[in-house]
Amino acid sequence: MSLLARDSFVAVVTLEQAALFRRHGRELRMLERKDVQPADGRAAEWPDALNALQLILHVHSRKRAEITVLLSNQFIRFCLVPWSEHISTPQELQGYARICFEEIYGQLGEGWSLTLSPEPAGQSRLAAVMADTMVEQLRTIVSHEGMRLISLQPYLMAAFNHFRHSLRKDDFVFLLAEPHRSNLIQAHGGHWVSVRSISSDDSDASLSALIAREHELKMLENLDFDSVYLHAPARNSKPPHPVCGVSTHALTLPLPTGEREDALFNMARAVD
């Protein structure tokens, strides 16, 4: 059997760019990246991003090859679903989670795929939704190129799972800062207590302001914190200076020999 037969692929999709990587063992190699370019000059939307990915796959796909697609948090909505003793079936849990989303984002309507983190009874869950049509179109694109979609991962979940053993076991704040979107999750006493998404850049000033604001909010709930774990795939600078007594610990990925810092490459490396 050819060694290439054991290769798999990782695709990274953001509103600005799409990229495809070939994985062989623990090694990743970028095959191509494309800018997302809406035809009429409007702001990019998910169909434009998937079109860029399709153009890449058409050139580089291998029949029956496995592919994992990592989606920027720009495409995902998150919320915390509190524990309720009145929920007894998966269907009731799905309905309850939708209500939690609608309290934050307004009426969802039909056409949203919802996933929930598996948690023990008595604990809140993290939930994520993305457009059904996006998921369906992505599956269609991959299938049309003869590939097998083995995993579709929100970047927040992939990055957290990759770094979870570097965090305090039961009490931590994890901040994932993409160039145009930041997501922050907090655990306290081994339970999820918050998840937040903010349209923001990953500059020192923006991250410091975000941390200070979150610290002030959590002080009102007696959930204040003294440190934040930060992963920012496009940053190669030191983390921001402490603000409001909160220190920032950078979570980084060792750069392979011969590679240079690159946001999409770092995002792909979060896929375990």
Q: Over the chain, what is the mean pLDDT?
A: 92
Q: What pLDDT was estimated at residue 140?
A: 97
- Above 80 in pLDDT, residue 1? no
Mean pLDDT of 34-42: 88
Q: What pLDDT was estimated at residue 2?
A: 44
> Into which CATH architecture does domain 167-253 fall?
2-Layer Sandwich (3.30)
The amino acid at residue 242 is P
The amino acid at residue 122 is G
Considering the chain, what percentage of its residues have pLDDT values greater than 70? 98
User: Is-contact 162 155, C-beta < 8 A?
Assistant: no
> Torsions phi, psi of 82, nearest 5?
-65, 155
Length of the chain: 272
- Above 60 in pLDDT, residue 4? no
Quickly state the pLDDT bin for 211 (edges 50, 70, 90).
very high
Mean pLDDT of 22-44: 90
More confident residue, 176 or 110: 176
- Above 60 in pLDDT, residue 270? yes
Q: What pLDDT was estimated at residue 111?
A: 85
DSSP states of 124-167: -EEEEEEEHHHHHHHHHHHHHTT-EEEEEEEHHHHHHHHHGGGS
- Which residues lie closer than 8 Å to 183 by C-beta, 6 or more apart? 73, 78, 156, 175, 176, 195, 196, 197, 198
The CATH code of domain 3-74+130-156 reads: 3.30.420.60
User: Is-contact 147 20, C-beta < 8 A?
Assistant: no
pLDDT digits (tens, 9 = 90+) for 140-160: 999 999 999 999 999 999 999
Q: What pLDDT was estimated at residue 6?
A: 66
Mean pLDDT of 227-238: 92
Sheet harboring 247-250: ordered strands across?
Answer: 191-198, 182-188, 172-177, 227-231, 247-250
Q: What pLDDT was estimated at residue 257?
A: 75
- Above 70 in pLDDT, residue 129? yes
What percent helix, strand, coil does the chain show, rounded to 5?
30, 30, 35
Considering the chain, what percentage of its residues have pLDDT values greater than 90? 82
- Above 70 in pLDDT, residue 58? yes
Q: What pLDDT was estimated at residue 222?
A: 92
Q: What pLDDT was estimated at residue 3?
A: 45
Mean pLDDT of 89-101: 93
Cβ neighbour number for residue 9 with a 10 Å cutoff: 24
Cβ neighbour number for residue 118 with a 10 Å cutoff: 6
Q: What pLDDT was estimated at residue 72?
A: 98
pLDDT digits (tens, 9 = 90+) for 256-266: 877 788 999 99
Mean pLDDT of 180-198: 95
Q: What pLDDT was estimated at residue 29?
A: 93
- Supply 65's token pair: 């090859």
